[in-house]
Each structure stands twice: as C-alpha cells, then as structure tokens.
Structure 1
C-alpha cells in the first residue's frame, strides 16, 4: 500500500440490493480507516457514505434478455471505461458487489493487472451451472458468501472464500412483532391475513399476477373474512398490479396493494404466497409459513431444468435441506393447488409452530456480524488489516 495516498478501495454495485450492501461495507471500513477513499460505480446509499461514482448505477440495472441485448453496447463501453480508469488509479483492492455478469469481467481484468479482487455475494453456483466455480476462482482472489454451504465449493476448486452471514439475518429481528405490524396496518388481530408476493419485476407480475389473484377467491371459500396484502416492489410493478385489479373479476377482492413494505406485510400475515426468489428468505426470516410458486416460459424451463443441481428451488428449503414449505412450480402452479396449500397452513397451526422453530434456527445460522467480517476480508486482501 502506498504511503503517498490514503487507502483506496474500488467498488461496483450494479443495482439497489448491491448499493445497500456496499453502503454497509463502506461504513464498516471507515471504522478502521476514516480517511479511506472509495471509488467505482455506486448508487445513492454508497454515495451518501462517500463513494465517488464514475458512472451512473442506473445504466447497469438491466433485467431480462432482450433489455440486456439492447443495452449491451453501452454496458460494454462502461465496463471498458471503468477497467481503464481503475487500472490507471490502481486501488488497493476491488470489490464487485453481486451483478456477476458485469463485475466478474471487471475483476478478471483488474486481477490480471495485479490489483487484488473480491466478489461479494456468490452467484447461486450450488443450485445451477456449478462449473462456473472454476472460472470464478481464477477471476477473483476471494469470494464473500452469504450462505454457509458456499465457501467449500470455492475452496475445493483452489480458491479463497468466506461465509460472512446474510445481511437480512442481521437486520430482521429474531422475534417478529405481528401485533405491532397489524396495528400499523390497521388490521384486526383475529382476522386471517395473507400476504401475496408475485415478484419484484413487471415480467414476474405478468407471469404470476393472474395466477395469484385467481387463487384469492378459492381461499375465501374457506376463510371468507380473510384479508390480502400485496406489497409492490416498484412503481412499475404497482401500476401493473393495479391494472390487473381493475379487471371485473378482481375488482371486489379484499386486496390492499402496498408501496414496498414487504417485511411489514410478511410480519402481519398468517401465510405468505410468494414467487420463488430472494423474497422467500425474507419470509422465512419473518418466521412465516409460505407457499412458493413460479412459472416461466416452457422453452426457458426446458433449457434450464437440466442445469439445476438441487432438489428444491426455494431458499428456505435449500438451506434447511428438506421440503419444509410447498413448492408449486410450472404445471403445478394452479390456483386450486395454491389455495389448498395456503388453506392447509391456516388449518394446521401446530405445523406452523414447528416451522417457525426451524426458521428461528435458520435465522441464527445466518446471523453474523456481516459488515465487519466483510470489511476484515477486504482489508486482508488489501494488506491493510489494522
């Protein structure tokens, strides 16, 4: 590390979740090096912590194959530009936060230039395309993992990896306050409440929205006074949900669309109907029974099915190593089957108690001092441990 300048740490976060992780990491690093310089591609939270952003994070927040193809020239131009600037700047360490398609390419070039590199948040190599591990260990010096089963995969391939815990486990309370959540939402304590989470992207609402909404009348046949909460992740998903609910068959459903507040909706709920993805872990950490569902195009499903290496798709089931909550996917993702699975949880409170105990153990296994562990790993690669 040069004595002529402050410790310089480069970071790239490609979307909002990475921006949050990056902001927490920067805050932890500043506890050790208050005058450290942070530079890269940052969202508003990282910038608030003092990170200089060389390009707009929005330019990288692209989802969906067609959108990526359309934006690929500008994304590649940004990657070339940021590699050139960081190579010239020679930071003491580079951290790519999630966004592996972008960040691992940057890391590979910086590592070849002699700059230590870290990837923060392992891609789901344990679930599918496990062969990626061999490439990743050559692209980066170290991987910071959110789940305990991940480091061994990299270590076995000759790399370095650390389990740093999951930030959600650090921020969500071990004992959720259901009564408080219901008071905040002005819901009666005695009524049945179901949170419905069809996904955080418009494309997911298009696939799962009508299936989930068609499930609601079937649940009402068993629980006619039930209330339904749908937290919308973005303005775009909220608009699409409202368009769906404006259709004649859905207009009279007892549904409340909320702007974000997914955690609040989960904590207030008795059961959660949720699209497969990271939201399932949030539901588990809120200690709520759930029914996991997902549908993708038949062609996409056939292409990816043979690459999936785990017996479950839901994170709670994967982490617990068993089918603790139902997964109804593709042809099984029907309103009739979904409603029956939700009603089963409402009818069997003793099973809910057992599940909540398992989710509490899961929460404890993921609850580490994530920010500090990640900061120490970064400083170790930068050869700057205090």
Structure 2
C-alpha cells in the first residue's frame, strides 16, 4: 500500500454550520501539527483560520430531495474531485465535518485506500435513516460527537468515538448580555424585540420568510411597539430576505436588517422566530424562548418525514426528549399560528421557565471542544 505523504490534512465541511463548527477545531489541530497543511472544503471562517480551499462550503449548501436533484451534477463532480485528489495526495488524514450525504461515500473510499478518517458531527442515526450506522462503521476510524446521548449509540455499534461537547456551548455566554447587545446594534426598544431567522439557504428564505414576516405583521397589530432584528447570512441572502420583507411595509418599518451578526441578534432579542437547524440550538443557548417554523416543497417534506425516527425536528426538543418549544411545520408554518406562539413566548413565566431549562442544557454541552477533538485526531494520526 502507498505510504501517506503526511504533509496535509484534508477537511470537508459543507454549509455555514459545518464551517462554523470546524473553525472551532481547525486552529488547534493546525497548531498541534504545524508541519501539516490544512486544505479541502470550507467556508470563510475556516479559510480565515488557514484552510487552503479546493472548494467553498457554500457549493454544498442544498436542502431537500427535489432541491438536491437540481444541483446533483455539480455536487457529484465536486465529490469525484475530492475522492480523486485525496487518494492521489495520500494525506495524513481526511476529516469530514457533518454533510454525511456528501462525506460518507468519500470517507469509505478514502479509508479503504489506507488513509485515516475522522468524522466530526455524527450523522443523526437517532433521528432518521438508522441503517446508515453500517456505512459509518465502514467509513470512519473515529467519530467526534457533539451530543452526549450519542456516546451510548455508537459505543454499542462498535464505532470508536469521543464526546467533544458542542463548540457553540463554549462560544455563547452562560448569561447573555441582552442590553449590551442592543446597545451594539443601536436598538432603543420600547416594546419587545424579536429576532427573525428565516434560514441561511435560498430555498429556506423562499419558503419560510413569507410566513415569518406575515407573523410579524400580525404581531404588530397587537403589540405595535415590537421591533424586529433580521440577520442575513451573506449579501445574497440579505438581498433575498429584503425582497420578501418589502412585501410587508409595516414590518420593514420596524426592522433592523443586519449583515450577519446572528448571535448578536439572538442575544438582543426577547424571543426568536427561527427556521429549523443549528440556529434552534443557538437560540436555546442564548436562553431565549423560540418558535420554530419550517416549510418546504410538499414532496420533499413527505420523503423526509417518512424516514424520521424522532417526533421532533428542533435540537432543543430532541435534546430534552420533550416538546419544550413549538414546532410549526409545513401547513402549520402559517402567520396566524406563528404569531400566536410568539405572543406566548413573550410571557414572563414562559421566559423564566425556559431560561432555567436552557441553562441546564448549556451545562451538559459545555466541554473543552478544541482540546478533546485535537487529542482524538492526534491518536488517529499516531495509529
């Protein structure tokens, strides 16, 4: 078998969330192995941390079955190129970050060629497609887990793994500075402040934003002093959000549209209306009441929900194994239903209850993530 060149580590992170999570670990790995070059797929944060990008993470940012089909030729081309270059380069290791549909098939081939494979953020076999655990066992030398309950699942499956905590739990303060965040955003609120996060993908904004801003419009009729904060993931997403927001002039007049700064928006808010995804956990870690809304094409939803293994789609509910926050999916993602839940989220008793529950959740996710991940990766490299 060919020798490893041992002069690089290949990373593959898709979407904003993967880029964010990997950026918490990549600098520590690079510092522990200064002789190794970090290259592969990543977003702006990983690139800032020293990744030499072969492709940008945004090129893998696609959701749903029907949406993936439209972009499939491009994604398959990137995947083939990743396989070819990695096997040819013979790096010290391949580190896949989330994006299991993209990464696992690459990891299988890479590992079969003798290159060590680490996968950060375990595929959610506890939520859907449990049969995927067999592919994980073939594809991965070591898993880096970000949720504590996953340890038992993968230990029983005989897959080496390490619980590294969730990187967000280290970044987000245990006690948010709401007033300080409002000062930074120059928001002098007389009424409630609500952060609206309709998603970081084009299709999410298309399907979720109209209902979200419709809910904001209904809320203004009952609470006219309410202010809204809307972060856009990048200039393109901001433009797409603004196109929807223009259809709701009453909401637009009471909205601050931000360039990024989603964490500052959450910290400044009294409540958060958010599309499903990592942002639901971020909202919980900021100890804010949240309402989860999500909509997509009907066929995509049918296919995804038919494979589901859990009652919930949002991370706070999955971690708690009960319905802590409302989830308004598909036909229930309507302005009327969302605005009703937002009013409930603003009630003081509701806020105090969730603050206590989310503080306990934060403690369970808090670990020295970069250190634990680097130690686990080092052990794989030594083997």
Q: Return the TM-score normalized by structure 2.
A: 0.90
CA distance 1:33–1:264, change in 2 (3 Å):
same
- 1:249 Cα deviation after fit: 5.8
Partner of 2:299: 299
Contact 1:62–1:68 (Cα < 8 Å) also in 2: no
Taking only aligned residues, the RMSD between alpha carbons, in angstroms, comes to: 2.5
1:93 lines up with 2:103 in the alignment: no
In structure 2, the partner of 1:207 is 207
Give how far 1:284 is off.
0.6
Greater shift in the superposed pair: 56-65 or 222-231:
56-65
Asked if residue 358 in structure 1 is aligned to residue 344 in structure 2, the reply is no
- The aligned runs of 1:1-386 (5 Å cut-off) are 8-53=8-53, 55-57=54-56, 60-64=59-63, 65=65, 68-188=68-188, 190-247=190-247, 250=250, 253-346=253-346, 348-383=347-382
Per-residue CA deviation, residues 328-369 of structure 1 (Å, 9 max, x unaligned), is 2222222222112111222x3122111101111111111111
Q: Which moved more, 1:246-255 or 1:87-96?
A: 246-255
Given that 2:220 and 2:226 are in contact with CA atoms closer than 8 Å, whether structure 1 keeps it comes out as yes
Q: Which string of whole-angstrom CA distances, capped at 9 and with x for unpartnered residues, describes residues 140-198 of structure 1?
A: 11111111122322222221122111111111111110110111222235521111122
Q: How far is the alpha carbon of 1:39 from its aligned partner?
A: 3.6
Report SS of the residue matched to 1:122: coil
Deviation at 1:217, TM superposition (A): 2.8
Of the structure 1 ranges 132-141 and 251-260, higher mean CA displacement relative to structure 2 is found in 251-260
- SS of 1:293's partner is strand
Cα distance, 1:78–1:219 mapped onto 2, change above 3 Å? closer
| Cα pair 1:13 1:98 within 8 Å, conserved | yes
Structure 1 residues 17 and 274: CA distance shift in structure 2, 3 A: closer
Matched positions, count: 381
Looking at structure 2, the residues matched to 98 and 152 of structure 1 have their Cα atoms a distance apart, in angstroms, of 19
Normalised to the residue count of structure 1, the TM-score between the two structures is 0.90
Distance in 1 between the 2:47 and 2:266 partners? 30
How far did residue 265 of structure 1 move? Answer: 1.3
CA contact (8 A) 2:107 2:140 kept: yes
Matches of 2:67 and 2:333 in 1, distance apart?
27
In 2, distance between residues paired with 1:107 and 1:340?
45
Instruction: Kindly indicate whether the alpha-carbon contact (under 8 Å) linking 2:16 and 2:57 is maintained by their aligned counterparts in 1.
Output: no
SS at structure 2 position matched to 1:308: coil
Alpha-carbon distance, 1:4 to partner = 11
User: For 2:3 and 2:111, how far apart are their aligned partners in 1?
Assistant: 22
Residue by residue over 1:255-276, the C-alpha shift from the partner in whole angstroms, topping out at 9 and shown as x without a partner, is 2222211111111111111112
Structure 1 unpaired stretches of 5+: none
Q: Secondary structure at the match of 1:151?
A: helix
**Shift in Å, 1:306:** 2.5
Q: Assess if the C-alpha contact under 8 Å between 1:213 and 1:250 holds in 2.
A: no
